Structure formats: structure tokens, C-alpha cells
Structure 1
């Protein structure tokens, strides 16, 4: 029989939780995929914020700065939620790259309209991935994580809406 001290030495990062090993594994994996996408979306949003140009520069620049702040604010909550339930989280840029589903954009120049349209699509992709993570959390009765995800879905829907409206002619 393993003592509590021996168990901590075997798995020093395992935070006690009542969710069970399968739930911890599945939810932490879903959260890490979302976190990788959130970091990718954050950097792309800031990239476009920094490289915005054109007649609506000020409005778009400020909107993307605000959206970037909102996206970045999610990162700590996502990672800490994975840790709270006994999982681990991302450790490097390489780890993010292996998990992210939102594509990078390294183009030398992107028009303002293309930037906004791409970010709108990326936010919609994030919404889809958040819904998938929500389903995993529901399956394991993790109401705390589902509650957080619902807020993040609402925020992403608002960002997608604003970006869509900004691209209408």
C-alpha cells in the first residue's frame, strides 16, 4: 500500500480532485488544446494589431488591442483550471505549436479587411473548440470548467461579431 507521502513523490504535480483519473486526463487534454489555440489567437491578434494600416487604422488598432487583452486574460484561467483538477499544462512554445489548430499568419503584408476576416474565422474556430471541450467537461460532470467555458464562448462570439461587422461594406 502506498502512503500519501509516497504518492506525492510518485506524482508530485497531481492535485487531489474528486473528478477521477479519466476525467483529469480528458479535461486537462481538452483544456491544453484550447490553451494552445488561445495563445495562437492572441499572438495573431497582436500581430495584426501591430501591423494594421489603412483608413480605419485607429479603430481597428484599438479594437484588436482590446481583443488581444481579453484573449490573453483567458490563458492563466485555462492553465490554472487544468492544474486545479490534477492535470498539467503547456510548457513551451513548441508544446503550443504541436497542439494549436489556429494557423499562424507570417505574411509580410495582410490587408486590414483580410486581417479582420481571418480573425473572425479564427474566433469561430475557437468557439467550436470551446464547445468540444465543454462536451468533454459535461461528460465528466465538471460543472466549474463548463461554467468558465460558457463565458469564454460568449466572449469569443462577441469578438467574432465585432470583426464580422467591421468587414461589412
Structure 2
């Protein structure tokens, strides 16, 4: 039996520019690294308030994994091929490097907050360009920023000292 193949002739209403694709790719890389860093810290955290820190890291991992999937699927919807291979993530992540050994809970808090803010910085840094070209993709960035910055604030509060540590109240 001979099979005939028709030529695919879809005409998408929108296709991403190289810049939009590159921006979303960077956010995908950082979110993928955030997942990996969250698990690395989750496995190696020790010390006071271990259980709460251990559990909140899973929240970070779950959020990062979900957002990475959202970004990758948006990329495919606008005809960009996502690349979250290990070698790509290792080469292009903007997140600070983690230690490979056990890490105290206070240092874990600082490390994951730094990683969360690095992802937020990427999302904020690409936002205006993304919004100018594709407001739908920018809406995803808004969701990412809302949750990532919320997690950073909540986790960072573990190490803060009321009314004396940075960030200081805007009412001073």
C-alpha cells in the first residue's frame, strides 16, 4: 500500500522574532537551573529549621518546573524550539553557582533567594521587549514574576531582622 503525504501548509498568525525566541530561551534556561538548584539545596540542607527549609525548597522546584513548562510550551506555540539540555543550561544560566556539599539552613535561604532574584532579574530584563512584540508571552512573565518574587520575599524573611535588615521599609 502506497502512502501519500500532503505538504503541510499551516500559516500561523504569529511567529516569534529571533529576539523574542532568545529572550524566552534565557528565561527557560534560568527556570530549569532554578529547579536543579532547588533540588540540590533540598538534598543538602542541614541545621536549625531544617524541615521548613527542606519543604519550601520543594515549593520552589514545583513552581520553577511548572513555569519552565509554560515557557517552553509558549515557545513551541510561537514556533521557537526550546533547549533545556543540561549542557545548554550549564553554559547559559545566569544563576549564581551553588556549593556541592552540605549547606546550613541560613546559607540555603540566602542561596535560593539569590537564585529566585536572578530569575526575576531575567524576567524583568526581557519584559519590555517581550511585551512590545507579544503581550501574550508577557502575560506569562507577569505570572512568573508574581510567584517567584513572592517566594523570594517569603523565604528571605527567614533570615531577616525586623526593621534593621535590607530591604528596609519604604516608610523610613
TM-score (norm 1): 0.83
- Do the aligned partners of residues 88 and 55 (structure 1) sit closer, same or farther apart at CA in structure 2, a change above 3 Å counting? same
Aligned to 2:96: 103
Superposed, 1:53-64 pairs within 5 Å as: 53-64=46-57
Structure 2 residue 159 is the aligned partner of structure 1 residue 167: yes
- Do the aligned partners of residues 16 and 114 (structure 1) sit closer, same or farther apart at CA in structure 2, a change above 3 Å counting? farther
Aligned to 2:170: none
In 1: Cα distance, 2:74 partner to 2:59 partner? 24
Equivalent of residue 42 in structure 1, options 30, 35, 41: 35
Gaps of 5+ in 2: 1-5, 162-172
Structure 2 residue 127 is the aligned partner of structure 1 residue 129: no
In 1: Cα distance, 2:156 partner to 2:59 partner? 16
- Do the aligned partners of residues 16 and 64 (structure 1) sit closer, same or farther apart at CA in structure 2, a change above 3 Å counting? farther
Aligned to 1:156: 148
SS of residue in 2 equivalent to 1:166: coil
Q: CA deviation at 1:139?
A: 2.3
In 2: Cα distance, 1:68 partner to 1:52 partner? 15
Gaps of 5+ in 1: 9-14
Q: RMSD over aligned Cα, in angstroms?
A: 2.0
In 2: Cα distance, 1:148 partner to 1:118 partner? 25
Equivalent of residue 58 in structure 2, options 62, 65, 73: 65
Superposed, 1:17-96 pairs within 5 Å as: 17-20=12-15, 23-90=16-83, 92-96=85-89
Aligned to 2:137: 145
- Answer with 1 or 2: which has the greater Rg: 2
After superposition, what is the alpha-carbon deviation per residue over 1:36-72, rounded to whole angstroms, capped at 9, x for unaligned?
Answer: 1111111111111111211211111111112211111
Higher percent of residues as helix: 1
